[in-house]
Amino acid sequence: MQGKIVVEEHFAIPETLADSRGLWSEETWSELRTRILDIHDRRLREMDQHGIEMMVLSLNAPAIQTMWDVGQADETARKANDYLAAQGRKRPDRFQGLAALPMQDPEMAARELTRCVKELGLKGALVNGFSQVRNAETVTYYDTPDYWSFWETVEQLAVPFYLHPRHPLKRDAGIYEGHAWLYGPRWAFGQEAAVHALRLMGSGLFDKFPGLTIVLGHLGEGLPYGIWRVDNANGWVPNRQNYPARKKISDYFYTNFYITTSGAFHTQTLLAAMLELGADRILFSIDWPFEDIADGAIWFDNASISASDRMKIGRTNAARLFGLDLA
Please spell the DSSP secondary structure of 288-321, one letter per residue. TTTS-HHHHHHHHHHSSS-HHHHHIIIIIHHHHH
User: What's the number of domains the chain is made of?
Assistant: 1
Q: Tell me what the pLDDT averaged over the chain comes to.
A: 96
Q: Backbone phi, then psi, for 5, in 5-degree steps?
A: -120, 135
Angle at 256 between CA 254 and CA 260, to 5 degrees: 80
pLDDT at 150: 98
Task: Give the pLDDT band (50/70/90) at residue 320.
Answer: very high
Distance CA 140, CA 236 (A): 34
Position 234 confidence tier, pLDDT thresholds 50, 70, 90 = confident
Catalytic pick from 19, 74, 105, 287? 287
> Does residue 327 surpass a pLDDT of 80?
no
**pLDDT, tens only, 51-91:** 999 999 999 999 999 999 999 999 999 999 999 999 999 99
Q: Does residue 33 form part of some domain?
A: yes
Task: Find out whether 129 and 192 touch, Cβ atoms under 8 Å.
Answer: yes
Question: Does residue 327 lie in a domain region?
Answer: no
pLDDT at 237: 84
Query: 10 Å Cβ neighbour count for 209?
Result: 16
Residue 201 lies in a domain: yes
pLDDT of residue 260: 98
In a domain, 146, yes or no: yes
Domain hosting 225: range is 4-322
Q: Rounded CA gap, 290 and 13, in Å?
A: 16
pLDDT at 263: 97
CATH number of the CATH domain containing 150: 3.20.20.140
> CA triplet 35, 38, 41: central angle to 5 degrees?
110
Question: Which pLDDT belongs to residue 175?
Answer: 94
Does residue 294 lie in a domain region? yes
How many whole angstroms separate alpha carbon 298 and alpha carbon 284? 12
* 3-state secondary structure (DSSP) of residue 285: coil
Residue 43 located in a structural domain = yes
Under DSSP, is residue 5 helix (H, G, I), strand (E, B) or coil? strand
The reply to whether 112 falls in a domain is: yes
What's this model's pTM, rounded to 2 decimal places? 0.97
What average pLDDT does the segment 110-119 reach?
A: 98
Q: Is the pLDDT of residue 164 over 80?
A: yes
Cα–Cα distances in Å, from 135 out to 65, 72, 100? 12, 13, 20
- Alpha helices, DSSP H, located in the chain: 26-37, 42-49, 70-90, 106-118, 148-157, 188-202, 205-208, 223-232, 249-256, 267-277, 293-302, 307-311, 317-322
Q: Is the pLDDT of residue 242 over 90?
A: no
Q: Is 69 noted as a catalytic residue in this protein?
A: no
Query: What percentage of the chain has pLDDT greater than the value 70?
Result: 100
